[in-house]
Amino acid sequence: MASDITSAAPTGWRARHAGTIRQWRLYAHLFRRSFSSMLGLFLVVLFLVLAAAGPALAPYPEDTMGAVHLDNRLKPPSLAHPFGTDEMGNDILSRVIVGTRTSLWIGLIITGVAALIGVPLGIFAGYMGGRIREVIMRITDVFLSVPGLALALAIVASLGPGITNCVIALSLVWWPGYVRLIDSKTLALKEELYIEAARAIGARTPRILFHHILPNCVSPLIVKASMDMGMAILSAASLGFIGLGAKPPSPEWGAMISVARSYMPDWWWYALFPGLAIYLTVLGFNLFGDGLRDILDPKSRGR
């Protein structure tokens, strides 16, 4: 009797989730053994912290709002201003720190909107096939036939310069990559036995798409989104550099470099530190995405 009571007693949380705990420990072990993945994780966390607490960490927060200090104009790096000052006497370190929030917000919005457009279209095209897939994929090919940045330039030129229009333009040209990725993954998944079994028991198409196929597309989707974050930030900075993105005094890295080019090469620090921030952000997200790919890809885990 006592043994029956003991066997019927509810097991602990760790016992119930032992498999999941082992899986996450494996993921952590695989991630830790790669120096590049850990470097990417460090850079991503660093910029996330700067984005979350930027105004509190900036030594001169008023300089991010367009203050003017002509007595400090174009001062080289020093203890008071480690990154130097710009043409208005503003502290470049403060502007780079606060600009992190703007750049990450841009990358997150662009990647999120592109995924919201591309993922449903890719799943629907891959699963339905036939004429529906032909129409979706030909529209996708039209967008892919034009370089993304050139198409974004045309859209921003028609909408007008500004950070909001820049985000809209890049979101509209970013989604075809997600359609291609999810379409190819869906084509492979829809022939699996568990999909055939779901059809046999009468599961409706929306349930098959979003309860069986979509969860199995999450791994490549996460990897692509993490890498696209860096490229979206770089593209937005490119539009800002040519004057179609954020406008001064907005502390956006591309706009800062755009203004700084008029003062090169004598005032080299003006462009160096915003450019270094862009470089490290893109590098961090790319390395982090590589690490996620090694974890989520069974072939990479085997190697």
Question: pLDDT > 70: what percent of the chain?
Answer: 93
- For residue 241, tell me if it sits in a domain: yes
pTM of this structure: 0.82
- Can you tell me the mean pLDDT for 194-213? 84
28 falls in which pLDDT band (50, 70, 90)? confident
- Can you tell me the mean pLDDT for 261-287? 87
Q: What pLDDT is attached to residue 7?
A: 46
* Separation between Cα atoms, residue 282 and residue 47, nearest integer Å: 11
- For residue 4, tell me if it sits in a domain: no
- Can you tell me the mean pLDDT for 98-103? 89
Above 90 in pLDDT, residue 37? no
More confident residue, 117 or 17: 117
Give the contacts of 98 (CB within 8 A, at least 6 positions apart).
Answer: 54, 55, 58, 61, 64, 251
Above 80 in pLDDT, residue 135? yes
- For residue 197, tell me if it sits in a domain: yes
Above 80 in pLDDT, residue 15? no
Lowest mean pLDDT among 20-34, 107-121, 134-148, 194-208: 20-34
Q: For residue 172, what are the domain limits? A: 36-55+93-302
Above 90 in pLDDT, residue 24? no
137 falls in which pLDDT band (50, 70, 90)? very high
Above 50 in pLDDT, residue 1? no
* Separation between Cα atoms, residue 143 and residue 121, nearest integer Å: 14
- For residue 278, tell me if it sits in a domain: yes
Above 60 in pLDDT, residue 299? no
- The secondary structure of 154-198 as a DSSP string is HHHHHH-SSHHHHHHHHHHHHTHHHHHHHHHHHHHHTTSHHHHHH
More confident residue, 24 or 48: 48
- For residue 88, tell me if it sits in a domain: no
Q: What pLDDT is attached to residue 279?
A: 92
The domain that holds 216 is classified in CATH as 1.10.3720.10
More confident residue, 227 or 34: 227
- For residue 86, tell me if it sits in a domain: no
Q: What pLDDT is attached to residue 280?
A: 93
- Report which of 222, 208, 207, 203 is spatially closest to residue 292, judged by C-alpha positions: 222
Above 90 in pLDDT, residue 179? yes
Above 60 in pLDDT, residue 301? no
In the block, tokens 């470049």 appear at 92
Lowest mean pLDDT among 67-71, 171-175, 181-185, 279-283: 67-71
Give the contacts of 69 (CB within 8 A, at least 6 positions apart).
Answer: 63, 85, 88, 89, 90
- For residue 27, tell me if it sits in a domain: no
**Mean pLDDT, the chain, integer:** 84
- Can you tell me the mean pLDDT for 165-192? 89
Above 90 in pLDDT, residue 191? no
- For residue 277, tell me if it sits in a domain: yes
115 falls in which pLDDT band (50, 70, 90)? very high
Look at the chain and report how many structural domains it folds into: 1
